[in-house]
Structure 1
Amino acid sequence: MYATASALYIDEMGYAMSRLEIDSDHCEDENAIHEESSSGQSKMPSTFLDNEIAQITKLKSNPHQQLVQVGTGRPQLPVSPVKMLAGRESNYSGRGRFSSADRCHLLSRYLPVNGPWLIDQMSSRAYVSQFSADGSLFIAGFQGSHIRIYNVDRGWKVQKNILAKNLRWTITDTCLSPDQHYLAYASMSPIVHIVNAGSAETESLANVTEIHDGLDFSSNDYGGYSFGIFCVKFSKDGRELVAGSSDNSIYVYDLEANKISLRILAHTSDVNTVCFADETSHLIYSGSDDSFCKVWDRRCLIAKAKPAGVLMGHLEGITFIDTRGDGRYFISNGKDQTIKLWDIRKMSSNVTCNPGYRSYEWDYRWMDYPPQAKDLTHPCDQSVATYRGHSVLRTLIRCYFSPAFSTGQKYIYTGSHNACVYIYDLVSGAQVATLKHHKSPVRDCSWHPFNTMLVSSSWDGDVVKWEFAGSGDRPASLSKRVWTRHFYDEYI
């Protein structure tokens, strides 16, 4: 029994490890945060993430202590799949099964790095790619007005092809309601449209085959001039939408009352990203081109009319924020070519200092990041950690925490202007994988909430999936296994 199970895991791990692209400079120190020298060459980091979030991540992704000590009598990480299976069958943990942390320790090493397999190819740029909360659906939004909903469980069949109404420039964001019945989509317009995602109609042409309800965010009470929506998110109960806009504001729309319930003049520049911090919907995170991340507590906004706190550290504008879901930690992607990890307990009550660094002219929409800016640091950086390696140019590139179910949120992943997807270790900062296929910027990517699968979408029009070997048919060019000494020494 053990021999069969072991052979299966070893065979699959060997194939996966052969596809992993790991920078050798990062493998020597697993407690280091990745940095780059001014010349662009990797160097060994001098610090490591020794913080509460590091301990939480380890608790969520490290196996039971008895499994750690199988066969050696002393702690030894990582634990091989063979030893973990043997420990489970011998009931070392006393549970008779893997705990969620055991599962994450095992699954988080089977990264979705094999492929890619082509899902769809369009003639226009892909801007949005998102799995539904249960992973059964996948949404891709394109500049050419199309939004496609794919049924993942039915071989990626197009369940719904939506032609957006009153599109301005591109689809900037989409969001499924928590019950997965409705899809909201936004563009560079003050109107957010909602369409029935669960109807029987496959072709959804606005107000011809289906009604696309328009939610007007440009109420006369707030000036009523034209602006665009960069980001839109449903609340956990599905009763509200929160949106970030080009008029420097955050909007909350009450879907039951069919009106704006809150408008916050939040920043001094475009609000590129906004989200609810957790399931309660009391806290809202926002990020702007003014380079600040802000935390808003709706319970005291009327009395204070200002943010609960400000987080400083980025030198350029914020392109995206992803919450860890605990109302405490989140990450942000910045035009200063970094991802930053934040703890809101470190926030300031207001802006205490500005970078004051700009000795050059730079526009990320058409210029490369200035070499002289790469070594600059914010004088009041409040971030917990900084991750470098990807590039953030031309568009609002997104970053995310990896899924809690399969990885314990052990990784951070992001698209990049250089047409790759990067995966970083949250605690060490190491760049553990680089997915290369696309020919144009990857604006968005999405990791399946339960399966070892990641989907990336690019301005080249391709939507492709990456998987761990064994979870699908392998491409012919990748069918040959490559065995490495590193794999043999560590896992057998």
Structure 2
Amino acid sequence: MQVKRKRHHTEPFRLPIQKEGFTIDDEISHLTKLRSEPCEKMRRGMPNGRKLPISTAKMIAGREANLSGRGKFSSADCSHVLGRYLPVNDLWCFDGMDSKAYVSQFSADGSVLVAGFQASRIKIYNVDNGLKLQKDIIAKSLEWTITDTSLSPDQRNLVYSSLSPLVHIVNVETAGTESHANITDIHDGLDFSEHENDDFSFGIFSVKFSTDGRELVAGSNDDAIYIYDLEANKVTSRFEAHLDDVNTVTFADETGNLIYSGSDDTLCKIWDRRCFFTRGGPAGVLSGHTEGITFIDSRRDGRYFISNGKDQSIKLWDIRRLSTDANSSRPRASLWDYRLSAYPREYRYLRHPNDQSLATYRGHSVLRTLIRCYFSPAHSTGQRYIYTGSHDKHVYIYDVVTGDQVAKLAFHNAVIRDCSWHPYYPMLVSSSWDCQIARWQFSGSDAVPSVVDNKRHRRQQAEQRTLP
């Protein structure tokens, strides 16, 4: 069986150093503020006028006085109150294994947490029962590690992938705590390979359920995106999506029509399933990263998304800025391999000559593994923040509008590949290669989240820009 070799670029592409400060598009700034700040009537009625943030006590007093004219909090008012209580304290390491933790994700309703480990284990915890173990799944036919997991919309089935063409699906509602493949439960293997005698055995990096639960979308290291029909039990679409590994795929919104993908070819692509076969390619391409892309998270509005890159940055995108050129230039800063060494210092603040992103967030490090990043929850924060794991053993939280680093969570002693913010509670979970799963919560203080040594952070940026 052949093993695919990674492509190597023969010459580094030298890029101009980025000199300008942090900026963000006015529209996304306005939309974020609309979802995370009190309405104008509420602000005008406050003793401190329009000064933000407004304390919880004053917000409640304003609600009782019906300053908004609604007689209750709006969703933005709720986000403004709840967004003060960031899950940055009250640390509890609630579980550990003897193998690296790769995945940690809350379900859409926040009732369960799914964690995936390298040693063929997936654990499901009951959040409402104090993160008590609900299901212990012994994975089947694992190749290297659990690369991704996804819960069906009804939370009855879980799929898990590894560096194999087989994605397994298991019913997590069966009786009993232990789920041992084909002993206590059936772990059906969904074969993503097109032919029985393929010479090349590929692996799945990313897999997601569609919003109706009938299909799976997957990205693989054979540069392709796959659509698997669960009712027909077969791959219904496969298309050559990129020129290198497809590390991440996700749906843009609840319709399931748009798919975002990110690859080691440095490009983000948008795929419209309604016109894919007539168009014969992506709906558009977005360039801006100078190294491969490890993860994409959608704002779920069919317009904005973020991506984590091996160029040590998170970028914010608007798909209306996309290019229709599927062969956009793919400059790379170096021949550097993120699995083997630190990112060259002289390349850290280089800028892509055709950068189409809205904003860039820096401070964390993306090394060794496909580190993930996310928008904070819509309900409790109005998606005001972006958060990410990091190779330097911390969880970083950035303000979407200002780019400031508002929190840096320290506990783990190895790379943090994944983390998840509860959709409703001020709770965040991190999973690390130190084999531990940690939970962070709100500390109980009413203090406003402050910028974490942001002056020093900007001074370091300015010093980096002066490098020859």
- Of stretches 250-259 and 151-160 in structure 1, the one that deviates more from structure 2 is 151-160
Report the residue type matching 2:41 in the other structure.
Q
Query: How far is 1:45 from its partner?
Result: 7.0
Cα distance between partner residues in 2 of 1:46 and 1:483:
28
Q: Answer 1 or 2: which has greater helix percent.
A: 1
Classify the secondary structure of the residue corresponding to 1:287: strand
Query: How far is 1:100 from its partner?
Result: 0.6
RMSD between aligned residues: 2.1
- Of stretches 412-421 and 196-205 in structure 1, the one that deviates more from structure 2 is 196-205
Query: In structure 2, what is the equivalent of residue 193 of structure 1?
Result: 168
Q: Write out aligned runs for 1:34-433 (5 A).
A: 46-72=21-47, 74-220=49-195, 223=198, 225-351=200-326, 353-354=328-329, 356=331, 358=333, 360-433=334-407
Identity of aligned residues (%): 62
Query: How far is 1:366 from its partner?
Result: 1.2
Shift of the 371–351 alpha-carbon distance from structure 1 to 2, 3 Å rule, reads: farther
1:237-261 residue CA offsets vs partner (Å, 9 max, x unmatched): 0000000001000001000111111
Query: How far is 1:391 from its partner?
Result: 0.1
1:154-208 residue CA offsets vs partner (Å, 9 max, x unmatched): 1211111001100000000000000000000000000000001111121111111
Report the residue type matching 1:381 in the other structure.
D
Report the residue type matching 1:132 in the other structure.
S
Query: How far is 1:483 from its partner?
Result: 8.7
Query: How far is 1:72 from its partner?
Result: 3.5
Classify the secondary structure of the residue corresponding to 1:101: helix
Report the residue type matching 1:344 in the other structure.
I
Query: How far is 1:67 from its partner?
Result: 2.1
CA contact (8 A) 1:241 1:253 kept: yes
Report the residue type matching 1:426 in the other structure.
V
Report the residue type matching 1:275 in the other structure.
T
Query: How far is 1:352 from its partner?
Result: 6.2
Cα distance between partner residues in 2 of 1:483 and 1:289:
41
1:207-233 residue CA offsets vs partner (Å, 9 max, x unmatched): 111110000000218956310000000
1:380-438 residue CA offsets vs partner (Å, 9 max, x unmatched): 00000000000000000000000000000110000000010000001111000000000
Cα distance between partner residues in 2 of 1:122 and 1:299:
44
1:346-392 residue CA offsets vs partner (Å, 9 max, x unmatched): 0000146535454x431100110001111311000000000000000
Cα distance between partner residues in 2 of 1:388 and 1:45:
14
TM-score by length of 1: 0.85
Cα distance between partner residues in 2 of 1:45 and 1:70:
38
Query: In structure 1, what is the equivalent of residue 460 of structure 2?
Result: none
User: Which runs of structure 1 show a deviation greater than 4 angstroms over 4 or more consecutive aligned residues?
Assistant: 221-224, 481-484
Cα distance between partner residues in 2 of 1:357 and 1:189:
28
CA contact (8 A) 2:282 2:326 kept: no
Shift of the 284–83 alpha-carbon distance from structure 1 to 2, 3 Å rule, reads: same
Cα distance between partner residues in 1 of 2:123 and 2:327:
44
CA contact (8 A) 1:69 1:76 kept: no
Listed as ranges, the gaps of 5+ residues in structure 1 are 1-37, 471-480, 488-492
Listed as ranges, the gaps of 5+ residues in structure 2 are 1-16, 452-468
**Number of positions where the alignment pairs a residue of Structure 1 with one of Structure 2:** 434
CA contact (8 A) 2:123 2:137 kept: yes
Shift of the 326–222 alpha-carbon distance from structure 1 to 2, 3 Å rule, reads: farther
Cα distance between partner residues in 2 of 1:53 and 1:482:
28
